[in-house]
């Protein structure tokens, strides 16, 4: 079942986010199972919203991502991500 994940990365600026994002987009950190990704700059960090094909896919990605995020100096999130089961979704043009 697809899930929507949202997390606020407090204390992460867009420059730091962009460094991590580039490593994901290059394929160094495979985002297998990610159907969509959005990042929004907030007053105190970056909010990330992802659509995943399953919670297992998200958890596998997170396990690959976290060591690199820590290497880049990402602080631990003070709150866990908000995760919701998705009732339905569609992608224009597919």
- Report the predicted TM-score, pTM, of the whole model to 2 decimal places: 0.93
Percent of the chain, pLDDT > 70? 100
3-state secondary structure the chain: CCEEEEEEEECCCHHHHHHHHHHHHCCCCCCCCEEEEEEEEECCEEEEEEEECCHHHHHHHHHHHHHHHHHCCCCCCCCCCEEEECCCCCCCCC
pLDDT at 78: 86
Give the pLDDT band (50/70/90) at residue 81. Answer: very high
Structural domains of the chain ordered from first start: 3-85 (3.30.70.100)
pLDDT in tens, 17-45: 999 999 999 999 999 999 999 999 999 99
- Using the predicted structure, report yes or no on whether residue 67 has a pLDDT greater than 80: yes
């Amino acid at each position: 079942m697809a899930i929507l994940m949202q997390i606020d990365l407090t204390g992460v600026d867009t420059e730091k986010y962009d460094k991590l994002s580039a490593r994901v987009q290059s394929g160094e950190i495979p985002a297998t199972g990610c159907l969509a990704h959005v990042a929004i700059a907030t007053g105190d960090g970056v909010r990330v919203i992802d659509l995943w094909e399953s919670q297992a896919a998200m958890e596998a990605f997170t396990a690959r991502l976290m060591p690199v995020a820590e290497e880049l100096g990402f602080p631990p999130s003070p709150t866990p991500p908000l995760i919701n089961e998705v009732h339905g979704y569609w992608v224009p043009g597919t």
